[in-house]
Amino acid sequence: MTTAPVPESRVYRHLKCGGDTIVNGDAFESMSNPFANMSRTWCTTCNGFYRVAEYEWSDTGEKLTDYYARHGTGATSFQRFVCSRSVGIIGMIIGLVLGLVAGNYLLLNQPQGMRFLFTLFGGFVGVLIVVMSQAELQKLIARRVCGVRDTRLLT
Ligand SMILES: [Zn+2]
């Protein structure tokens, strides 16, 4: 593993307009991760979201979809499954239901209005927990498969 500092940003190019967009922070972390299921991203020139297949990294000229395929190669089918969008969606539904039930039962003897709000809040928390857990798993699996401590180090 390299000890090089984690880059803060990277530039990608929209093939259609040739415009460059700088990505940094959490967005860069997700975008650099081949297991994060990025589907669309922003172009500052066109002021819109487009499919990742329409972009390349400006520094290497590699299409984002090729980059994801290349770095994702070493994953097992189980690792791919855990990171997949279907698991994310099913997980969110389960999280929502469990959260709604928990929120509803926690305030069983409280006034209806308060119970209703708490039920909604429970559902929201349930979904949030699932989304955050899958994001962490995607990072963990990417680090293991790609052999880096941060996917922003990948080129
Ligand atoms: Zn563009």
Taking all residues of the chain, what is their mean pLDDT, rounded to a whole number?
Answer: 94
Task: Compute, in angstroms, the gap from residue 12 CA to the centroid of ligand 1.
Answer: 10
Distance of alpha carbon 43 from alpha carbon 23, whole angstroms: 10
pLDDT for position 60 = 97
Task: Compute, in angstroms, the gap from residue 33 CA to the centroid of ligand 1.
Answer: 22
The residue that leads in pLDDT, 111 or 128, is 128
Residue spans of the domains in the chain: they are 9-153
| CA distances, 2 to each of 16, 132, 148, 149, 151 (Å) | 35, 27, 7, 8, 12
pLDDT for position 144 = 95
DSSP 61-85: --BHHHHHHHHHTT--HHHHHHHSH
pLDDT digits (tens, 9 = 90+) for 126-142: 999 999 999 999 999 99
pLDDT digits (tens, 9 = 90+) for 34-51: 999 999 999 999 999 999
Task: Compute, in angstroms, the gap from residue 151 CA to the centroid of ligand 1.
Answer: 25
Task: Compute, in angstroms, the gap from residue 47 CA to the centroid of ligand 1.
Answer: 7
Residues 6+ apart with CB under 8 A from 54: 14, 15, 16
Q: Taking the model in full, what pTM does it have?
A: 0.85
Yes or no: say if 103 and 122 are a contact pair by the CB < 8 Å rule: yes
Q: Half-sphere exposure (CA, 13 Å, Cβ side) for 55?
A: 32
What is the percentage of the chain residues whose pLDDT exceeds 90?
89
Tokens matching residue 102: 């928990």
Task: Compute, in angstroms, the gap from residue 7 CA to the centroid of ligand 1.
Answer: 24
User: At residue 57, does pLDDT exceed 80?
Assistant: yes
pLDDT digits (tens, 9 = 90+) for 71-110: 999 999 999 999 999 999 999 999 999 999 999 888 888 8
